[in-house]
């Protein structure tokens, strides 16, 4: 049995990893050292008792919005970005398996030759068997971010929380890298996050989390063990919670 000090506070959690986080110190692509560190952390997080689903971004290869800004039709650009998330999902699946935890990649865009198509039933079946699921393809539709996809899948899979990995240790009143006067929040409500236009995730994702009373835990992915710390409540983070009735 897992010691109480390392037990997850969430029975089932959705982890959102950006593509940029997976490239580590590189300018693009996948950094093997960073990928191995994340995979080991996710395996340890699963060992803490949580059922884990992961939504991955694709910005280390291609970002739909940037493609649209360069003249690619937005729907087509987003489709390219969704394919980028599949590359990350396959890489992360292999890395977590190598770290010793059974994992399955599922894609919202059918590509059965390389991974299982996403369905709620398939994802829940894997999670109930103790496997980590890595979800590619966002929502399967253009014009939706992977942040929104993560909250959507979290609600669909009855997750207890969304863990949003970022480059800073929580939500600030402004970008702390640009504004030294930015203040950090320990807790916020969804309404406060939306009202203050705190853009750590997009407004649609915040609104969907509010509608489904889903807490969002925002933490830094920079350090080893960050995901496990966020799962067990030991890490420094900001928690966005539903407003009290």
The contacts found for 208-214 with CB under 8 angstroms, 24 or more apart, are: 208/148, 208/151, 208/152, 208/155, 209/151, 209/154, 209/155, 209/162, 209/240, 210/242, 212/151, 212/154, 212/155, 213/242, 214/151, 214/154, 214/155, 214/159, 214/161, 214/162, 214/242
pLDDT range class, residue 7, cuts 50, 70, 90: confident
Q: Give the pLDDT of residue 3.
A: 41
Q: Give the pLDDT of residue 204.
A: 92
Q: Is residue 208 predicted with pLDDT exceeding 90? A: yes
User: Mean pLDDT throughout 56-68?
Assistant: 91
Distance CA 56, CA 16 (A): 6
Q: Give the pLDDT of residue 5.
A: 44
pLDDT (tens digit per residue) in 182-194: 999 999 999 999 9
pLDDT (tens digit per residue) in 14-47: 999 999 999 999 999 999 999 999 999 999 999 9
Residues of the domain holding 174 = 4-241
Q: Give the pLDDT of residue 36.
A: 97
CB 43 within 8 A of CB 19: no
CB within 8 Å of 151: residues ≥ 6 apart: 14, 162, 201, 205, 208, 209, 212, 214, 216
- Its pTM surpasses 0.85: yes
CB 99 within 8 A of CB 40: yes
pLDDT range class, residue 55, cuts 50, 70, 90: very high
Q: Give the pLDDT of residue 244.
A: 76
Closest Cα partner for 151 from 98, 116, 193, 111?
193
pLDDT range class, residue 177, cuts 50, 70, 90: confident
pLDDT (tens digit per residue) in 71-129: 999 999 999 999 999 999 999 999 999 999 999 999 999 999 999 999 999 999 999 99
The CATH number of residue 207's host domain is: 3.40.1160.10
Strand order in the sheet with 187-189: 116-117, 103-107, 132-136, 51-56, 12-17, 161-166, 216-220, 237-241, 187-189
Distance CA 220, CA 240 (A): 15
Q: Give the pLDDT of residue 150.
A: 97
Using alpha carbons, list the distances in angstroms from residue 131 to 51, 88, 209.
Answer: 8, 18, 24
How many structural domains are present in the chain?
1
SS3 27: coil
pLDDT, the chain, mean:
93
Q: Is residue 1 predicted with pLDDT exceeding 50? A: no
């Amino acid at each position: 049995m897992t010691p109480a000090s390392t037990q997850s506070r969430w029975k089932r959690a959705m982890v959102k990893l950006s593509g940029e986080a997976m490239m580590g110190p590189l300018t693009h692509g996948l950094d093997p050292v960073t990928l191995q560190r994340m995979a080991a952390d996710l395996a340890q997080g699963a060992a803490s008792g949580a059922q884990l689903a992961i939504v991955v971004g694709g910005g280390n290869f291609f970002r739909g919005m940037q493609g649209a800004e360069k003249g690619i039709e937005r729907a087509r650009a987003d489709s390219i970005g969704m394919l980028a998330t599949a590359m990350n999902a396959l890489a992360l699946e292999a890395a977590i398996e190598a770290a010793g935890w059974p994992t399955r990649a599922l894609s919202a865009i059918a590509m059965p030759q390389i991974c299982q198509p996403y369905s709620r039933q398939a994802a829940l079946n894997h999670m109930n068997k103790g496997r980590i699921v890595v979800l590619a393809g966002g929502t399967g539709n253009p014009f939706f971010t992977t942040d929104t996809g993560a909250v959507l899948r979290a609600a669909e899979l009855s997750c207890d929380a969304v863990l949003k990995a970022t480059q800073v240790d929580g939500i600030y009143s402004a970008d702390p890298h640009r504004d030294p006067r930015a203040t950090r929040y320990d807790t916020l409500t969804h309404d406060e996050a939306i009202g203050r236009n705190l853009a750590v995730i997009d407004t649609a994702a915040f609104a969907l989390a509010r509608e489904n009373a889903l807490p969002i835990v925002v933490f830094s992915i920079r350090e080893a063990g960050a995901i496990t710390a966020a799962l067990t409540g030991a890490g420094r983070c900001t928690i966005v919670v539903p407003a009290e009735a």
